Structure 1
Amino acid sequence: MNARPASDGRGGVLDAAPPVVLEVDLGPGVRAGFTTRTGGVSPEPWDSLNLGLNVTDDATRVRSNRARASTWLEAPVAFSSQVHGTDVVRLGSPPRDADGAPVDSVGEADAIVATVPGVGLGVLVADCVPVLLADAAAGVVGVAHAGRRGLAHGVVPAVLEEMRAAGARVGNVRAAVGPSACGRCYEVPATMRDDVALARPATRSTTSWGTPALDLPAGVVADLVAAGVGDVVHVDACTIEDDRFFSHRRAARGGTTTGRFAGLVALSVA
């Protein structure tokens, strides 16, 4: 776990503790990890490192939290507007607005690929599966948001294909599958489980109390292995059970909202 003082984006330092991030090894010259709830400026119920702009938290606080995540990653982080699809955005430079400030979104997409150092990528989740990818030798990194619909429709093969088009060799890609709702807890109607499992058989599961469920991380791992990714690490933490992470389902049971944590990856600037 790594934590560093965070910038407010204007050269100052924010007062709260720095982010707590679960760092993963995706190869030399690549920095990657999964944020937790800890190390931000948002109050309850988004307490505290909420990185999502669409969960009724104050936008100024969210942008401050994103600046903290960027400081940890040592690169400005680009996020997309996730719509549970399979579209992929490729970036060759840090996205900025007309005034040179980071943009809130690079557009509607559920995966992003970058091909140059210093461009951070982020994927937002709160039960869905965050996927981080890197071919360090080729200098290509990617992220994917693998929710139920996106996984079933092929977001993982889509992001790998875009990485291949950018020069990556899939056999050289390292992948990290992050914290998400697990197959023991992600209860769904039987018809939904059957529909998703028809496309991704590895997702078929049963809850610990015996009802139909989906194991989305198992589906992601199966897609990565089938595509030829040679090094896959699964951070086996269930967001519904582990309150270090935001969980939409856990919050909904309590009648409230919650924030979003992120998977982050960037090619380091030499």
Structure 2
Amino acid sequence: MFWWQDDVGQDVRVAFTDRGAGNLALHTGDDADAVRSRRAALERSMGVPRGSLVFLEQVHGTDVADADRADRPAVPTADAAVTATGVPLAVMVADCVPVLLVGEGPGGSVVGVAHAGRRGLLDGVLERTVEQLRGRGARRLTAWLGPSICGGCYEVPAAMREEAAARIPAVAATTSWGTPALDLRAGARERLSALEVGVVEPAAAGSSCTHENEQLSSHRRDPGSGRIVGLVWRTAPREEGAA
């Protein structure tokens, strides 16, 4: 079910699923009841209440949902979300970069997720998310970059590469067969570093490139593979003296 997961301190856990968890998106033509059943199984594995995991209606934009608002929609239309109260958050991907962020806040951890696809990355979704987290008092932010298509596989027209590189030079890449490409992970890394956010790129079994690793979802390789997700949530604090 999990491609990688870890306890990162402050009673916070971060994880990325693989295709063993099944398609977790409701917008890909899959049976809705089956998707909801998979989401419930995922919540059980996480140890969070059923129905508490917040998914987003992702539109390749830069809006950041406040998961703590009492009047927020059950499924916010946004490409990022933040919480200071421990609401479990999910971000769906199938080639784009899933970004999980954790910082120290005045009352405990402040966390967020972001969907860094080409358009959102170039338009500033990471900057908007970091701004919202710091507005909540987050300090010492760290970001985890999950599985995404690599620069050696993400072929684009030359004009698109030039346009993207004019905004974030680090995204310019070349495919393994010599054609223009984009490296979204390198772009996300550069943007986060410029924002003074620590960056962690977890290593797990197999390639972290969604296009190369068939255990991961890739829209380019197989549009029917659905979506994997990045997750950040609070775990129950351990009692003192517990083994």
Return the TM-score normalized by structure 2.
0.88
Partner Cα separation in structure 1 for residue 202 and residue 122 of structure 2: 19
Q: Tell me if structure 1 keeps the 8 A contact 2:5–2:16.
A: yes
Q: CA deviation at 1:94?
A: 8.9
Counterparts of residues 128-167 of structure 1 (less than 5 Å) = 128-136=96-104, 138-167=108-137
Q: Tell me if structure 2 keeps the 8 A contact 1:147–1:216.
A: yes
Counterparts of residues 1-270 of structure 1 (less than 5 Å) = 19-39=1-21, 49-75=22-48, 76-92=52-68, 103=74, 105=75, 107-117=76-86, 119-136=87-104, 138-169=108-139, 172-235=140-203, 237-252=208-223, 257-270=224-237
Partner Cα separation in structure 1 for residue 200 and residue 11 of structure 2: 18
SS in 1 for 2:126: helix
Q: CA deviation at 1:173?
A: 1.1
Q: Tell me if structure 2 keeps the 8 A contact 1:73–1:120.
A: no
Q: Once the two structures are superposed, what CA deviation does each residue of 1:51-102 show, in whole Å capped at 9, x if it has no partner?
A: 00011001111011111222222223101100000000112279998xxxxx
SS in 1 for 2:20: coil
Partner Cα separation in structure 2 for residue 188 and residue 96 of structure 1: 36
Cα gap change, 1:164 to 1:221, in 2 (>3 Å) = same
Q: Once the two structures are superposed, what CA deviation does each residue of 1:191-243 show, in whole Å capped at 9, x if it has no partner?
A: 11111111111100000100000000000011111000134335561000001
Cα gap change, 1:231 to 1:125, in 2 (>3 Å) = closer
Q: Tell me if structure 2 keeps the 8 A contact 1:73–1:264.
A: no
Q: Tell me if structure 2 keeps the 8 A contact 1:239–1:246.
A: yes
Q: CA deviation at 1:26?
A: 3.2
Cα gap change, 1:116 to 1:199, in 2 (>3 Å) = same
Q: CA deviation at 1:136?
A: 4.2
Cα gap change, 1:95 to 1:182, in 2 (>3 Å) = farther
Q: Tell me if structure 2 keeps the 8 A contact 1:26–1:176.
A: no
Structure 2: which 5+ residue stretches go unaligned?
238-243
Q: Tell me if structure 1 keeps the 8 A contact 2:192–2:199.
A: no
Return the TM-score normalized by structure 1.
0.80
Q: Partner amino acid for 2:175?
A: T
Q: Partner amino acid for 1:184?
A: G
Partner Cα separation in structure 2 for residue 59 and residue 240 of structure 1: 25
Equivalent position of 2:241 in the other structure:
none
SS in 1 for 2:102: strand
SS in 1 for 2:9: coil
SS in 1 for 2:151: coil
Partner Cα separation in structure 1 for residue 72 and residue 99 of structure 2: 24
Which moved further from structure 2: 240-249 or 226-235? 226-235
Q: Tell me if structure 2 keeps the 8 A contact 1:181–1:240.
A: yes
Runs of 4+ in 1 over 4 A off after TM superposition: 93-97
Q: CA deviation at 1:163?
A: 0.3
SS in 2 for 1:248: coil
Partner Cα separation in structure 2 for residue 72 and residue 142 of structure 1: 20
More strand by share: 2
Q: Cα RMSD (Å) of the superposition?
A: 1.9
